[in-house]
Amino acid sequence: MKRFIFTVIASLTLFSLSCNASDGNGIKTDSDKDTLKPRVIVMTDFPPLDVIPVKATYGPPEKRSDPDDVQSMVRFLLYTNEFDVEGLIATAGTRAYIARKQNILDILNLYDQVDENLRKHDQRYPTADQLRWVTWQGRDGTYGKNGVKNLGKGMDTEASDAIIRIVDKPDDRPVFVCVWGGPYEVAQAIWKVKNTRTSDELERFLSKLRIYSIGRQDNTLQWLLDNFPDLFIIVADNTYRGMFSYAPGSDSSLNDIDWVYENIHRGHGILGLVYPENTTMDPNQKGVREGDTPSFLYLVSALRGLNDLNRPDQESWGGQFIQPDPAKNHWYDGPGPESVYKWRAEVQADFARRADWMLP
């Protein structure tokens, strides 16, 4: 019954979105202000903007990280008109295992230079200040296999407390947590609720969460899988690789470095210019990597009516997944990378269109 109710809510949300009004130029109007949008939290091991590929043997450790998070954030910011962004959380993920929300604030400073142009095309784009107000600090040192050791009393963070406040809001819409690094902060939030509230209150809290995790970047994910069978969790261990320009079997011409130069990096303002050209040390792997992007493309395609947000077994821009144990609301890789790159033409065309919106 519980899952049926959530499916109905998701369907009504999509119906509302499909009925949006616009003027003759396709620009959203004030009648959209009350439109229901997915509530989204992004948890990212976001590096400095002058990040160095993680396998580099030079440069300070705090800059040797994953440039693809910067790529994914550029794309995500161009979709913030589609979401109610309720949290941007800095998690630990650099070689120094540090979390720095200032790194997120730095890219929001660049977004601040293009958001007025974006609002000429859709008034729902948030201001940079609105996004700054929901940027939260996570804990250092959780990346890798040490996450569970850090869970417990006295281990709350600015970010884990923020997650509790977000979920506790009097809003029946589920909260989608896109995990680009490790899920430590959402795990700590759940730990605190589990240990300070009644079982009914815990069930209510868990029922509002939807987690899409890119890989298993700290072992708090396994803790969640082991202890909360009803918690909605998508685990993309391999599916996310469908975003890679060099994914075997994919059409690389749609997101190789030449495509990036033409459509994103050059001639598209300061936010496009910061999109990293190469996320590895391999010169043959220049172009789109964006391993974290499927976590929110799953929502984007649902807004277009392709998939039901509560049915990961359906095809979506964010991949397609299977449920090995019907008794657990946990979903794992289905067809794999192909279920992401099969939509590459549509996904990249939409990205390029939005990148053009950044210009005056």
What is the torsional sign of CA 97, 99, 103, 108? positive
Which are the contacts of 163, defined by CB distance < 8 A and separation ≥ 6? 41, 87, 89, 177, 185, 186, 189
User: For residue 8, what pLDDT is reported?
Assistant: 39
Residue with tokens 């890789």: 333
Domain-by-domain residue ranges, the chain? Answer: 37-357
Tokens found for residue 219: 């072992």
Which residues of the chain register pLDDT less than 50? 1-34
User: For residue 145, what pLDDT is reported?
Assistant: 73
Distance CA 224, CA 183 (A): 9
User: For residue 35, what pLDDT is reported?
Assistant: 52
| Strands 330-333 and 321-322, bridge-based pairing | antiparallel
Q: Is 164 in contact with 189 (CB distance < 8 Å)?
A: yes
Distance CA 91, CA 140 (A): 7
Domain spanning 37-357: CATH superfamily: Ribonucleoside hydrolase-like (3.90.245.10)
Q: What is the pLDDT of residues 204-231, one digit of tens each?
A: 999 999 999 999 988 999 999 999 999 9
User: For residue 13, what pLDDT is reported?
Assistant: 42
Distance CA 280, CA 275 (A): 14
User: For residue 59, what pLDDT is reported?
Assistant: 84
User: For residue 21, what pLDDT is reported?
Assistant: 35
CA distance between the termini of the chain:
49
Q: Which of 129, 100, 155, 122 is nearest to 35 (CA)?
A: 122
- Sheet containing 39-44, strands listed edge to edge, beginning at the edge strand earlier in sequence: 135-137, 84-90, 39-44, 175-179, 209-214, 232-236, 330-333, 321-322
